[in-house]
Chains A and B, each alone.
Chain A
Amino acid sequence: MSDSIQFFNPVVLWPAVSIGLLLWVAFLWKEWNQPIRKTFFLNAVIALLAIGALAMLVLQPMVLDYGGMRIGVLLTEGYAKKNLDSVQGRYANVKTIAYTENVPFTAALDSISTVFILGHGLQTFDFWQLEGIPVTYSGTVVPVGVVGVNYGNLHSVGEEMVVKVRYNNPHEGHQLILADPGGKKLDSIPLQAQGMAEVALSAMLKAKGKYVYHLMAKDSAGNMLMKEPLPVVVVPKKALRILMINSFPTFESKYLKNYLAEKGHEVAVRSQLTKGKFKFEYFNTARRPFYDFSRKQSQSLDLVIIDANSYRRLGKKARRELDDAMKGDGLGVFILPDTELFRGSGKVSNFAFMGQESTQVRLNKIPELQYRKYPYVFKPHRALEIVHRSADIPVTAYRRNGLGRIGTTTVQNSHEQVLNGNAKNYNRFWSEIIGKLSKRKQAAYEFRATTTLPYENEPFAFNLGTSDKSPGVIGPNGRIALRQDIEMEALWSGVTYPRKGGWHEINIANDSTATFNFYVFKNTHWRSMRAHAAIAENKRAFNTKMGEIPQKKVLRPIPPFWFYMIFLLGMGYLWLAPKLAPR
């Protein structure tokens, strides 16, 4: 019995059975005392049936069967009616369930043996609701519009923000526009009719602050197709502390020195006059004579620009100290080259070169200008990291040395660009080198968002890297509980649920300088990108091919209607039969 039949209210089984029996016995006794006993047995059976039905109404028996099992179709945003029709055409017993983000639908899933998802799919945070049920998702057409945006959302003033956009299925004549927070067009690009357009837009960031730029698409008539926010945090530039060492003054070092000093960096220059005598120049910084390298002294420096001659002549101790400062503190070293450097062995300079005839070079980043170069090129090496390249050939490169970096270039007399009136390109050339090589400011905390598109009322997950033993983190809704990575003790992760769109901050409880800004989108933002991401996630999480639909037995209560009918008929007979009987 327990195998095949179960009761919904097994608690009341024995009371129900005993009361039923009692009732029947009372009925039998009453019937026995009747003068006419012709119908006694019939009545007894009918009464038993009626009382049994009454008991069943209370007990609600259930049976295990296949009959009620159905196929569920989860309709998510963007499903095609055609697909639903084809599912319904194939299977008889189809139940459709409408999906709304963040609304549980588990109640609708009982008696469902398998689920098809139509449309863009579920959001990742709703996946748990389908646990234990075989799910099939075969994907759908990717919606028209922006399906991917790649840009840095943290920049410094004066940097160029480059926004790479993947636009699915554009029409001829559509154009993408990058607009500033005031809505003014900064850059635009027309789209060709093709499957997937990949374009890049750029804009100069002029002032610090938290801004929301916009990416807009317009059709050929100028109607706005979409306008999506691009949040950017622009931080002010931080000055560098640079030491320049020259064995004799050159124009190259003079122009470099002037450029850096004018940009407000703290520059100290030491030029050798004669043996043991130096000329010291200090720009934007206090006097601090510098005679020989010591790790302690160079701790306050971000970059050392040293000419090749001086570098070669460094004493053993000085070289060791410099090396330690690079490895341990992350000091950057740039060697202003001379011909000797290229000829020398790799040991001295950390770089190996080979001869090349040409003395002119065009950089990939600045193709309109020719630079003069030494007739040498870098020998390829896997540790070489490239700052400037011309076609595939490295022009300026550096290597890591512990935390620090050491680099040089094959370009010579770059100051000629200033003399030719191309100061802008000169600035760009050197700002790239110096920016790459300089010591990084070591942050105590590093946040990284793992939710790429945070929406309001949805989880926002992030990682925190810190050496802090027990970091306290305060999010928009108060303190956030962090989970430490099981293998890396310096890696933590957390989740918060921003309730409003716009900028939010995550702060470290005991360090007010470490602040992580993130922008929460409204539900109407970036629909096509969100759909594209959901499609990919769903494809990854669920079967994409339809398999055998497994049959599953499910306990189902027998509808109480039948018991009620039996009871009613039985009672009706018992009441009516004596009245109709011929006396």
Chain B
Amino acid sequence: MNSAKNILERFKKKWQLLLLAAIVIYAIGPAFLVYVLSANIGLFMLVFGFFFLIGLFITKPWHLTLGKVGDYIDGNLESAEYSTSLLLLPEEELSSVAHLQRYRVQEVLKEDVSKLRPAVSLKSPILVSVLFLLIGIMAYQFNWTLSLNKPSNTGETEAVIAFTPLDTAKTLYSPPKITNQLVQLRYPRYSGIGTRSTSDMNIKALEGTRLSWQLQFDAPVEKVFFERLGQAFEMSSVDKGYTYQMSLGSSGFYNVTFQTSQGTAYQSELYALEMIKDQSPEINVQGLQQFTSFDLEEDNALAFETLVEDDYGISEVYITATVSRGEGEAVKFREEQLPFEQGVLANGTKKQRLSKKISLDRLGMVPGDELYFYITAIDNKVPKPNRTRSETYFAVIRDTVQNQFAVEGTMGADLMPAYFRSQRQLIIDTEKLIADQSKLTKERFNYTSNELGFDQKALRLKYGQFMGDESESVVTESEETEVSESDQHDEDGEDPLEEYTHDHDGSNEHNLVDHDHDHGDEHVETDTEEDPLERYLHNHDDPEESTLFTQSLKSKLRQAMAEMWDAELYLRLYTPEKSLPYQYRALKLIQEIKNSARIYVHRIGFDPPPIKEDKRLTGTLDEVASFQKREDLAKDQVYPYMKQAAERLEGLLQGQARQESDQSVFERAGEELAAIAILEPGNYLVALQRLKWLSDSNTAYEDTELRMVLAALLRAIPSPEYEPERRQGYQGRLDQLFLKELELNE
């Protein structure tokens, strides 16, 4: 009975196994496809497990019972005579017929069960899997790959540094290979990028980045060199690998060479080292005119926004404002640094929008004042930050007072009242007064005369300023009051003449005495007691003497002032006729002073030397000599070695043997080409690499490589200019005869 049940059990196991097999086959298909696409074994396992589990849950092989198995056998095996269930029943419960039948079935099953297959078809799972396999193979053929895995997959293999041996004789040993290559780019701290590492040997990084190369070889090597700009730096050996560090300061090319212990040298290709410069910040001011003006009553405030951008971060933005007040010589400046409303948001932000409202009132500006300001932005580059200045903007509060004058300016003449009259005006007025004497009342006449005297004084004081006569201006104040008093005196009919009479020595009146003495005289008048030594000293350091004028001018001015004194005196005495000669003299002196202060510029032009009349038209050429001059103007040939290299390359292509000199020619041609390549690395980099190989190694080269270098060289050599040359000709006897014959027949 056990054996009978065993048959069913075995059949059930077989069924379950087949089910599992079907699930596995189902799951393998998609998993394989994923593997082909991603080349990732982990993903393969994941997909496989996923589909496997799904299959398990759908088919549920553990749910298969012996009853089901029995039913299946009954249904499909005729010889079982629907009695399989008898095998499952306990023997005791069976009738004797059933016993018999059971025995029969058991025997039959022993024979026939092997003919029966469980109801599991492997055809469709195999079909499905094959379909996936085909898709996978096609995917592989056409190189479809899942993009998510690309970087880790392709990058490594391509960029491994390829070395070529520099020596043909010793290539028998298999050269050491790079097992690990890495470049660490430590960006400057301010850039906020931090440290990156790459296995790509063509490097493009920010100025000031610290670069560190790490190379590991699978076999021991003797020395490793880092070559750049024709210089070789030995790479330092650090546990198993080699490393070299440098700070990126300029663009260029580099390559790596190494030597094995056998002394064989290997060289890599050239790689580009490209430096990116930190850009200066950009300032964009919005909502502001270059020139703004305000009226006094307006709200004197400027509001604007500024957009500041930088490629690595801004550290500071501020406004530099200058307020100017006054005009001409009296202008005064005040500079102030104003922060923006927000300040700089955070050190290192790349883009900031800042706003500012400048209140002109708060800057203490009054009408007529002008404000100039510009914005400075500084980025966070170290050690020397880049700074940018915006354009300068202007703001002004209109000066209302000045405006009133301007309104009447349409008349074409400035009607601003004169504060004082000029000497010429005084003369004109004086003459007019004399002419009008008969028409005027005596009082009016005297009054006008006195007024003119006052004007004469004002003029004198004005000129006194040029002399540096500060004391006089103090006197002015007091005199001013006295003038008004004197006016009163006038009316009182008193004679106040003495007070105003500047008692001049007649001798010095016309500047007959040297000005120094003149000067001394004045001091004698005022300061005799104060400094008894004065008259014995010839003192040039006197601050009084340090005026704007030269000595003679000064004496003239003094003289003019003396004349003015006298003119004033007579005006004040109501005798303008007597005053006039003094006034004329004063005018003349002032004119002279003015003229002498003018600068005359000679008219530019050829000033011929005076003709010596006695030599004129005599035709003697004794002093005319022949003249000789020698110069070398020939220009050097450009790119001589590139031209030479082109010739040699073509020779090699035509099957000539290599020469000793080739290497140095190629090397120098490489130097020349490098200068061009720095400007256009895209065009010439590969050619430069090949040229470097050719110049350094004796290895075999291929025609296509030579052709490529040759093409690049011929492209890089500039087109020559048109230039005449000496041609070659051959003149045979026949040609000569022919020419002779031609000439005879002419």
Contact = CB atoms under 8 A, between A and B. Distances in A.
Given A209-B647, A435-B724, A282 B719 contact: no
Contacts of A281: 628-631
A22 to B, nearest CB: 73
Interface stretch (B124-132, B150-158, B599-607, B731-739): B731-739
Contact of A237 (B629, B633, B725, B739): B725
A373 interface: no
Q: Which of B634, B715, B739 has the most CB of A within 10 A?
A: B634
Interface in B676-719: 707-715, 717-719
A180 interface: yes
A184 B711 contact: yes
B650 A209 contact: yes
Interface stretch (A65-73, A194-202, A260-268, A535-543): A260-268
Nearest to B653: A181
A280 B724 CA distance: 23
B364 to A, nearest CB: 58
A210 interface: yes
B633 A284 contact: yes
B28 to A, nearest CB: 45
Contacts of B629: 279-282
Given A182-B711, A182-B712, A440-B729, A284 B632 contact: yes
Interface in A135-183: 156-158, 180-183
A253 to B, nearest CB: 15
Report whether over half of chain B's contact residues are helix, strand or loop; otherwise say mixed. Answer: mixed
Contacts, number: 196
Interface string A347-385: 000000000000000000000000000000000000100
A180 B726 contact: no
A207 B726 contact: no
B299 interface: no
B628 to A, nearest CB: 5
B726 A502 contact: no
B507 to A, nearest CB: 67
B646 interface: yes
Q: Which of B631, B655, B712, B730 has the most CB of A within 10 A?
A: B730
Nearest to B627: A279
Interface in B636-668: 642-644, 646-651, 653-655
Given A158-B720, A158-B721, A442 B730 contact: yes
Interface in B594-636: 621, 624-635
Q: Which of B632, B648, B720, B746 has the most CB of A within 10 A?
A: B720
A283 interface: yes
Contacts of A446: 730, 732
B625 A277 contact: yes
A424 B721 CA distance: 7
B727 A263 contact: no
Nearest to B716: A206
A467 B731 CA distance: 10
A434 B724 contact: yes
Contact of A287 (B628, B654, B710): B628
Contacts of A402: 739, 743
A403 interface: yes
A274 B621 contact: yes
A283 B122 CA distance: 99
Range class of the B interface residue count? 35 or more
Contacts of A12: none
A282 B651 contact: no
Contacts of B627: 273, 278-280
A204 B714 CA distance: 10
A479 interface: no
Contacts of A262: 633-635
B624 A274 contact: yes
B725 A240 contact: yes
A158 B725 CA distance: 10
A118 to B, nearest CB: 38
B187 to A, nearest CB: 40
B732 A238 contact: no
A210 B631 contact: no
Interface stretch (A41-49, A88-96, A216-224, A425-433): A425-433
B536 interface: no
B743 to A, nearest CB: 7
Contacts of B642: 207
Contact of A283 (B631, B707, B717, B739): B631
B525 interface: no
B723 interface: yes
B722 A206 contact: no
Contact of B719 (A206, A400, A491): A206
A490 B732 contact: yes
A280 to B, nearest CB: 5
Interface residues of A, number: 74
Contacts of B715: 184
A163 to B, nearest CB: 16
B711 A183 contact: yes
A490 B739 contact: no
Given A182-B712, A261-B634, A284-B632, A438 B733 contact: no
B143 interface: no
B633 A502 contact: no
A208 interface: yes
B728 interface: yes
A488 B643 contact: no
A428 B650 contact: no
Contacts of B631: 261, 281-284
A331 B694 CA distance: 47
Contacts of B733: 467, 488-490
A260 B649 CA distance: 32
B630 A183 contact: no
A431 B723 contact: yes
Interface string A432-449: 111100111111011000
B720 A263 contact: no
A211 interface: yes
A465 B732 contact: yes
Contact of B650 (A211, A264, A274): A211
Given A261-B634, A284-B632, A442-B729, A490 B719 contact: no
A289 B724 CA distance: 24
Contact of A258 (B633, B648, B723): B633
B626 A273 contact: yes
A85 B258 CA distance: 72
Given A181-B714, A210-B651, A211-B650, A277 B727 contact: no
Given A434-B724, A465-B732, A183 B707 contact: yes
A509 interface: no
A158 B710 contact: no
Contacts of B707: 181-183
B633 A261 contact: yes
A438 B726 contact: yes
A547 to B, nearest CB: 41
A366 B653 CA distance: 37
Contact of A503 (B654, B719, B725, B743): B654
A307 interface: no
Contact of A207 (B647, B724, B729): B647
A275 interface: yes
A551 to B, nearest CB: 49
Contact of B723 (A263, A383, A503): A263
B719 A204 contact: yes
A577 interface: no
B621 A275 contact: yes
26 contacts: A158-B720, A184-B711, A206-B646, A206-B717, A206-B718, A207-B646, A207-B717, A237-B726, A240-B726, A263-B723, A265-B724, A274-B624, A277-B624, A279-B626, A280-B627, A280-B628, A282-B628, A283-B633, A402-B743, A431-B723, A431-B725, A435-B727, A440-B729, A441-B726, A488-B732, A502-B654
Given A209-B650, A281-B631, 5 more contacts: A183-B707, A207-B717, A273-B627, A280-B626, A438-B727
- What 4 pairs between A and B have smallest CB-CB spacing? A182-B711, A209-B647, A440-B729, A158-B720
